[in-house]
């Protein structure tokens, strides 16, 4: 079931699912399960501090966003296009950086040759 929870978490991060915070009572119940090394119910995820602090985890449920199939397909297409734009921007940035490095190298070589 860990793989299923990872998939839920990934869908949540991509915005396909929406988050519903658990109540404080549910948080206490799920913390007890963690302390006893028992599995959490399906669909229950939590934010744990990554720095190893003693802050208590906060639990949440993920559930489908109220999107039609068409809206979901449009959303996925939008995310893909957004990724393509990011890749293009990175490509342009690194191309410009390479050209500037080459020009700087040529100028340095000419300056050393003239000395």
Contact at 8 Å (CB) between 28 and 58?
no
Indicate the pTM of the whole model: 0.45
Over the Cα atoms of the chain, what is R_g?
24
- The CA distance from 75 to 31, in Å, is 35
- Report pLDDT digits (tens) over 24-48: 999 899 989 988 999 888 878 887 7
- The CA distance from 86 to 84, in Å, is 5
What residue spans define the domains of the chain? 2-64, 67-115
- Report pLDDT digits (tens) over 3-15: 776 777 777 777 7
- The CA distance from 49 to 21, in Å, is 16
């Amino acid at each position: 079931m860990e793989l299923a929870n990872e998939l839920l978490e990934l869908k949540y991060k991509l915005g396909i699912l929406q988050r519903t915070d658990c109540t404080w009572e549910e948080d206490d119940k799920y913390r007890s399960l963690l302390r006893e090394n028992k599995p959490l119910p399906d669909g229950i995820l939590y934010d744990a501090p990554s720095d190893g602090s003693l802050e208590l985890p906060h639990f949440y449920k993920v559930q489908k966003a109220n999107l039609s199939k068409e809206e979901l397909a449009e959303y996925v297409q939008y995310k893909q296009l957004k990724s393509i734009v990011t890749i293009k921007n990175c490509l342009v940035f690194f191309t410009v950086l390479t050209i500037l490095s080459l020009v700087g190298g040529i100028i340095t070589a000419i300056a050393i040759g003239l000395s």
